[in-house]
Homo-oligomer: A and B are copies of this chain.
Amino acid sequence: MSAKKLLLIDDDLELTELLKEYLSPQGYELDVAHDGEAGLSLATSNKHYDLILLDVMLPKLDGFEVLKKLRTSHLTPVLMLTAKGDDYDKIFGLEMGADDYLAKPFNHRELSARIKALVRRMALLPSGSVQQNLKLGDVVLSPSAQQVFCADNIVELTGTEYSILHLLMINQGSLVSKQDISEKVLGRKLAAFDRSIDMHVSNLRKKLAVFSPEEKIKTHRGAGYLYVVPA
């Protein structure tokens, strides 16, 4: 397990220093931003943080604004911190899409335990479903560009093919039922005798096979499809 990357957005220099010293020995890589704008730009950069610690009272862009803008494009987990122990604030933050909320002053060990709990839970998510390039064997899928490369060649996929591949890759090693594919990709229930998904998968396989011989999408008869985790 590689070191988890955290981003701390807080303008309190004393606190950020303290937390840096406290969290580093626990095996976290901690970046710090001292205002909302800098924080947001780091958070949306390609550094792909595992967790963001976000203060509410911030210069330039307050915590709620940062959270709101972040959530338009990223699902990175966010733990909010605030000087005010205000219930309303807490509820507002959580409703806006924060994952946890801790009032200052907090017990360092509680912060550490909450970070650990969030990171642990997020580790169950398949790698990269929080929007970064998915690389599996010789296939690379780039969500930002909606492009797929196979053995360094661009693969020209249609929108639906791309979405199906994306879904399967996110769920690498797990079975995805046709029902799920239909609902998530085509936006409709799978009807009896609907062969649409089969066709898209067939075309997808054909296009990938041009550049790479290994079987990537496995069929589970009567159940669905599965993206094979490369050795």
A residues adjacent to B (C-beta < 8 A): 75, 77, 87, 90-91, 94-95, 97-100, 107, 109-110, 113-114, 116-117, 120-121, 124-130, 144-146, 158-159, 170-171, 173-176, 180, 220-223, 226
Contacts and interface: CB of A to CB of B under 8 A. Distances in A.
Number of copies: 2
Contact of A107 (B91, B121, B128, B173): B91
Given A113-B91, A223-B159, A126 B127 contact: no
A221 B91 contact: no
A127 B100 CA distance: 23
B146 A117 contact: no
Given A109-B91, A159-B223, A174 B144 contact: yes
A54 to B, nearest CB: 14
18 contacts: A75-B124, A87-B107, A94-B110, A94-B116, A97-B120, A98-B117, A126-B129, A126-B174, A128-B174, A129-B174, A144-B174, A145-B173, A145-B175, A146-B175, A146-B220, A159-B221, A159-B222, A159-B223
Contact of A180 (B120, B127, B129, B180): B127
A28 to B, nearest CB: 16
Nearest to A77: B121
Given A113-B95, A226-B145, A128 B175 contact: yes
A125 B128 contact: no
Given A117-B94, A221-B158, A176 B126 contact: yes
Contact of A90 (B99, B113, B124, B221): B113
Nearest to A91: B113
Nearest to A127: B180
